[in-house]
C-alpha cells in the first residue's frame, strides 16, 4: 500500500480510531505493530531486517551507554556502525556489482540478485546517528525496547523520510497521547496538500520520462521541457510525501521536523540545501562534515566535497550518483569560496535576488540531469541537448505550455507550503473551502499513479 492509495487511507482511518481510544502505554505497541504491518504490505521479506536492525541498534546503544572504558566504547561504536554500513552497502551495491560483472562477461553470484529493501537508506542513517549520539553522550538511549522500535520503524517516514533522529523521536513516542482537534485539523489539511502535490507530480512524470528516456536525439526545447517537468515532479513528489508523512505522524501525536522550506526560492546552492531535504543536509553536517573537520583541519573545501560525495553515494552506489555528489560538493565549495572573497549583504533583495535565484535554479537543475539520467553517457547527451540549441521537431507552443504548467505547479506548491506555515488555511472561513478545492484539484489531476521517487532510495 502507498500513502496516497484509497486502501491505505481507509485502513489508517480504522487504525487511527482504535489508536486514539487506546491508553497511552498501549500506543507504543500499536505503533510498532502498525508500522511492521504496513511495511509487510510493501516488502514482507525484509521485515526481519528492519526489526532485527532496530533491535541490534538498541542493544549496541545500551552497551555503549553503560560502558565506561573509552576504548571499549569506541569498539562498540565501530561494530555498530560497521554492521549498519555493511547492510547499506550490500543491498545498495548488489545490483551495481551484478551489472558490472555482467558487463565484464562474468556471471554474478546469486547473492547479488537481491532487491533493495524499501527505506533502507533512511533507517540505516537513523541507526548510525543514534549510535554516534549515544557515543558522544549527547543522548541517553531508552531502556524500553518497544519505545525505540516504535520510533525506528515508524511507518509515516520509513519509506522516504524525513530522517528523524532517535534523540528527537523517542522522547515524543514515550509521551505520546491523543491529539486535540486543532492539531488533527491541521494534519488533515497537510495530508490533502501532500495528495494534491503528488497528484500533480504524477501528471508531469510522463513528460519527464519521455525526454530523459528518449532513444533518439531530442531538441533543446524538448530537453528543457523534460527538465522543467522533472524539477516540478521531484518537488511535488518528494515534498508531497513529506507532507503526508508529517500529517500522519501528527495524527498519531508525533510532530516531525520540517524537511522543505520553499526550496525553489533559494538564492545560492547552500541556501537551497538549507531548504531542500533538510533532514539529510543536517545529518551530513553533524555526522560527516563536522567529524571530518575535526580530524582534517584547514581542509574546509576538501571536507565539503567529500561530504557531498557521501551524499551522492547514499542515493546509490554508482558512478552517476558519485558524480552527482561531486557536482554539488564542488558547487558548494566554489560558491562559498566566491562569497567569502566578493562579500555582499546578508539579505538579498530586488533584482539581485531574482538573478541569484534564477542562477541557483539553473545550477540545481543541472544537478537534476545527473540525478535522473540512466547513466553517465546519457547525462552527457542530455547536457548537450540542453545547450546545443537544436531546432524543435514538434509543436513549440505545446512545449512552452508544458513549461508554463510546470512553473505554475511549483508556484502553487510553494503557495500551499507558505499558507500552511502561516496557518492561513486553518482559519474557519477558509478551512472547508480549501479542503474542497484540494479534493477538486486531486480529481482533476488523477490518473495513473507513479511510485514515490525517494522510496527507491
- Indicate whether 12 and 73 sit together in one domain: yes
Q: Is 116 in the same domain as 193?
A: no
The answer to whether residues 172 and 189 belong to one domain is no
pLDDT at 432: 64
- How many structural domains is the chain composed of? 2
The average pLDDT across 190-208 equals: 90
Q: Is residue 230 part of a domain?
A: yes
Q: Which pLDDT score is estimated for 222?
A: 92
Examine residue 322 and state whether it is found in any structural domain, yes or no: no
Q: Do 164 and 191 share a domain, yes or no?
A: no
Answer whether residue 126 is part of any domain: yes
- 103: containing domain: 6-178
- In this model, does residue 95 exceed pLDDT 80? no
**Whether 117 and 151 share a structural domain:** yes
Statement to judge: residues 429 and 443 lie in one domain: yes
Q: Stretch 348-370: mean pLDDT, rounded?
A: 91
Mean residue pLDDT of the chain comes to: 87
- Indicate the burial class of 314 (C-beta count within 10 angstroms; 0-12, 13-18, 19 or more): buried
Per residue in 218-233, pLDDT tens? 899 999 999 999 999 9
What is the pLDDT, as a whole number, of residue 288? 93
Task: Read off the pLDDT of each residue in 434-447 and give the average, rounded to a whole number.
Answer: 60
pLDDT at 274: 95
Give the residue with greater pLDDT, 424 vs 192: 192
Q: Are residues 194 and 256 in the same domain?
A: yes
Q: What is the pLDDT of residues 161-175, one digit of tens each?
A: 799 999 999 999 988
Q: Are 258 and 358 contained in the same domain? A: yes
DSSP 139: -
* Helix (H/G/I), strand (E/B), else coil: 444: helix
pLDDT at 154 over 80: yes
What digits encode the pLDDT tens for the residues 61-91?
A: 999 999 989 999 999 999 999 999 999 998 8
Is 315 marked active-site?
yes
Domain ends where: 178, 202, 223? Answer: 178
Residue corresponding to grid cell 531574482: 354
Residue 344 has pLDDT above 90, yes or no: no
Last residue of a domain, one of 124, 148, 178: 178
Residue 303 lies in a domain: no
Do 194 and 162 fall within a single domain?
A: no
E-only strand ranges, 175-233: none
- Is the per-residue pLDDT at 96 higher than 90? no
| pLDDT for res 447 | 56
Residues 138, 27 share a domain: yes
Percent of the chain whose pLDDT exceeds 70:
86
Compute how many other C-beta atoms are within 10 angstroms of the C-beta atom of residue 407: 14
Q: Which residue's entry shows cell 494534519?
A: 187
pLDDT in tens, 11-68: 999 999 999 888 888 899 999 999 999 999 888 899 999 999 999 999 999 999 999 8
43 within domain boundaries: yes
User: Is residue 275 assigned to a domain?
Assistant: no
Secondary structure (DSSP) of 302-316: HHHHHHHHHHHHHH-
Closest CA to 58 of 34, 76, 39: 76
419 falls within a domain: yes
pLDDT score at 136:
93
Of 315, 328, 387, 414, which residue is the catalytic one?
315
Same domain? For 204 and 119 the reply is no
Tell me, yes or no, whether 137 and 198 share the same domain.
no
Q: Is residue 279 part of a domain?
A: no
Final residue before a domain boundary, out of 154, 178, 202:
178
Q: What is the pLDDT of residues 117-131, one digit of tens each?
A: 888 999 999 999 999
Average pLDDT over residues 89-96: 79
Task: List, for residues 289-329, the tens digit of each pLDDT value.
Answer: 988 876 666 688 899 999 999 999 999 888 999 999 999 99
Amino acid at each position: 500500500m502507498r500513502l496516497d492509495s484509497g486502501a491505505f487511507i481507509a485502513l489508517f482511518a480504522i487504525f487511527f480510531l482504535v489508536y486514539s481510544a487506546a491508553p497511552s502505554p498501549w500506543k507504543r505497541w500499536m505503533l510498532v505493530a502498525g508500522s511492521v504491518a504496513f511495511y509487510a504490505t510493501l516488502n514482507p521479506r525484509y521485515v526481519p531486517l528492519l526489526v532485527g536492525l532496530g533491535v541490534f541498534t538498541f542493544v549496541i546503544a545500551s552497551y555503549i551507554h553503560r560502558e565506561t572504558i573509552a576504548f571499549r566504547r569506541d569498539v562498540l561504536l565501530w561494530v555498530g556502525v560497521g554492521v549498519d554500513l555493511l547492510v547499506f552497502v550490500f543491498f545498495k551495491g548488489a545490483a551495481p556489482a551484478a551489472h558490472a560483472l555482467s558487463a565484464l562477461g562474468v556471471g554474478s553470484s546469486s547473492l547479488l540478485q537481491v532487491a533493495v529493501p524499501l527505506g533502507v537508506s533512511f533507517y540505516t542513517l537513523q541507526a548510525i546517528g543514534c549510535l554516534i549520539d549515544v557515543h558522544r553522550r549527547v543522548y541517553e538511549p531508552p531502556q524500553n525496547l518497544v519505545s525505540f522500535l516504535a520510533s525506528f520503524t515508524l511507518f509515516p517516514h520509513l519509506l522516504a523520510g524525513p530522517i528523524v533522529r532517535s534523540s528527537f523521536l523517542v522522547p515524543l513516542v514515550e509521551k505520546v497521547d491523543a491529539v486535540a482537534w486543532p492539531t488533527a485539523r491541521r494534519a488533515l489539511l497537510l495530508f490533502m496538500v501532500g495528495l494534491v502535490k503528488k497528484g500533480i507530480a504524477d501528471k508531469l512524470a510522463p513528460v519527464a520520462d519521455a525526454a530523459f528516456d528518449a532513444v533518439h536525439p531530442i531538441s533543446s526545447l524538448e530537453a528543457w521541457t523534460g527538465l522543467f517537468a522533472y524539477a516540478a515532479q521531484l518537488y511535488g513528489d518528494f515534498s508531497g510525501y513529506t507532507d503526508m508523512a508529517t500529517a500522519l505522524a501528527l495524527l498519531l501525536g508525533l510532530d516531525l521536523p520540517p524537511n522543505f522550506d520553499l526550496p525553489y526560492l533559494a538564492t545560492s546552492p547552500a541556501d537551497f540545501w538549507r531548504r531542500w531535504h533538510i533532514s539529510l543536509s543536517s545529518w551530513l553536517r553533524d555526522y560527516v562534515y563536522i567529524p571530518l573537520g575535526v580530524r582534517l583541519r584547514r581542509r574546509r573545501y576538501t571536507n565539503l566535497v567529500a561530504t557531498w560525495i557521501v551524499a551522492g553515494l547514499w542515493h546509490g552506489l554508482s558512478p552517476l550518483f558519485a558524480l552527482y555528489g561531486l557536482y554539488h560538493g564542488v558547487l558548494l565549495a566554489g560558491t562559498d569560496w566566491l562569497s567569502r572573497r566578493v562579500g555582499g549583504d546578508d539579505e538579498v533583495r530586488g533584482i539581485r535576488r531574482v538573478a541569484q535565484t534564477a542562477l541557483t535554479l539553473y545550477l540545481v537543475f543541472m544537478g537534476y540531469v545527473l540525478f535522473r539520467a540512466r547513466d553517465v553517457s546519457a547525462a552527457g547527451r542530455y547536457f548537450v541537448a540542453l545547450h546545443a540549441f537544436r531546432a524543435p521537431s514538434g509543436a513549440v507552443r505545446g512545449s512552452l505550455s508544458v513549461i508554463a504548467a510546470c512553473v505554475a505547479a511549483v508556484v502553487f506548491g510553494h503557495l500551499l507550503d507558505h499558507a500552511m506555515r502561516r496557518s492561513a488555511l486553518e482559519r474557519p472561513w477558509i478551512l472547508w473551502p480549501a479542503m474542497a478545492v484540494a479534493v477538486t484539484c486531486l480529481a482533476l489531476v488523477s490518473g495513473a499513479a507513479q511510485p514515490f521517487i525517494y522510496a527507491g532510495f
